[in-house]
Amino acid sequence: MSDTAIYMDNQATTPLDPRVLKAMLPYFEEHFGNAASRSHGFGWTAEKAVENARLLIADALGAQSRELIFTSGATESNNLAILGAARMYQSRGKHIVTAATEHKAVLDPFLYLQNQGWEMTVLDVDEFGRVSPENLRSALREDTTLVSIMHGNNEVGTLHPIAEIGAICHEHGALFHCDATQTLGKENVNVEEMNIDLLSCSAHKLYGPKGVGALYIRRRNPRVRLEPLFHGGGHERGFRSGTLNVPGVVGLATALEICLEDMDTEQARIRVMRDRLQHRLLSELDYTHLNGHPEERLATNLNISFEFVEGESMLMGMDGIAVSSGSACTSASLEPSYVLRALGVGDDKAHSSIRFSLGRFNTEAEVEEVADRTIATVQRLREMSPLYEMAQEGINIASVNWSAH
């Protein structure tokens, strides 16, 4: 890695904010107690820290503190919400609904349930990656017990109309789970206003530590119950047994508090930088395409396809710039992004896509440097591409018969 590395992969993970680390350190050192140890001061101090964090996070969500439990991260929260709700309410019906562009931490539990006898409906998205509320309405049945739709997409940044989706679920008596991992701390998230029954989040997407997350579980109208995944001790109101990660919980709450203090200003600043990068790449390079919704998307996200180059080749050519050619959880695969495929992006363009995700610690100078180096890399790779040369000559690549004679 270059000594002048620039980090623009904030949707994969964010750097730990020094203020968050400072808040966490005492709970590694002098306040090391177990929050479940209620017979002495060490445990009481830890328990108080956890409950203060629970209250802060719940308040940020428009929830009650008793409706929030802590987990190891969004993957666990998603699994507990989906598997726990489906199993608890299977006597009411075994039809579950999600969308084609969900994170694997949602799709894989759904596929697991399908293999266990549940019937799964996967909603298509439009060319921008959005779920149509009317398509959802048409998919719901009397035996539908659970719907899971994310707030903001991790690859293309598209935001779904969550409040409307939640209202439709409630009209039909189905529970609504929302993965808000990418949006909490960046967009307004309120479980009451958005009709959300279960909500997942993770600290490391909002400048907090890895290995800690939370799950909101509605207690009233309706009261949601879950079958637990873990057994042993009955921690977190019986939903999630296991000793709590007290430093992590403190870190999650502190990170969210910092995000909320300056959310509008910070996201506006990031959006300006994102738009500058987008303008340069789309205006200075031909055969480029924006993936995702042009407006209803996260301020942090910019996903662009650069035709006639391979995304993997671009990553190698852009040494010292941390970006991704898909979501971090699927980047080991050479298959085109299933999210881009769901948007109708062809395999060639999907293979050439790069996700730039900006964050709190990026600067305007870094944006210009990334734009310069991306443009130079694309131009260099295209100089070696006969397909690009053919396109410049006006040849329709799609019409060429490549069969050998």
DSSP string, 145-183: EEEE--SB-TTT-BBP-HHHHHHHHHHTT-EEEEE-TTT
Q: Which residues in 96-110 are b (16+ Cβ under 10 Å) and which e?
A: bbbbbbbbebbbebb
Phi, psi of 5 (to 5 degrees): -65, 140
Whether 199 contacts 180, CB under 8 Å:
yes
Whether 157 contacts 340, CB under 8 Å:
no
- Among 178, 201, 259, 329, the one annotated catalytic: 329
Neighbours of 29 (CB within 10 A): 9
Q: List the beta bridge partners of residue 259.
A: none
How many Å apart are CA 300 and CA 357, to the nearest integer?
5
**Is residue 201 among the annotated active site residues?**
no
Amino acid identity, position 201: C
Per the structure block, which two tokens stand in for 83? 């598997």
Helix then strand count (H, E) for the chain reads 13, 12
Neighbours of 338 (CB within 10 A): 18
Q: Give the residue numbers annotated as catalytic, written as ranges.
A: 329
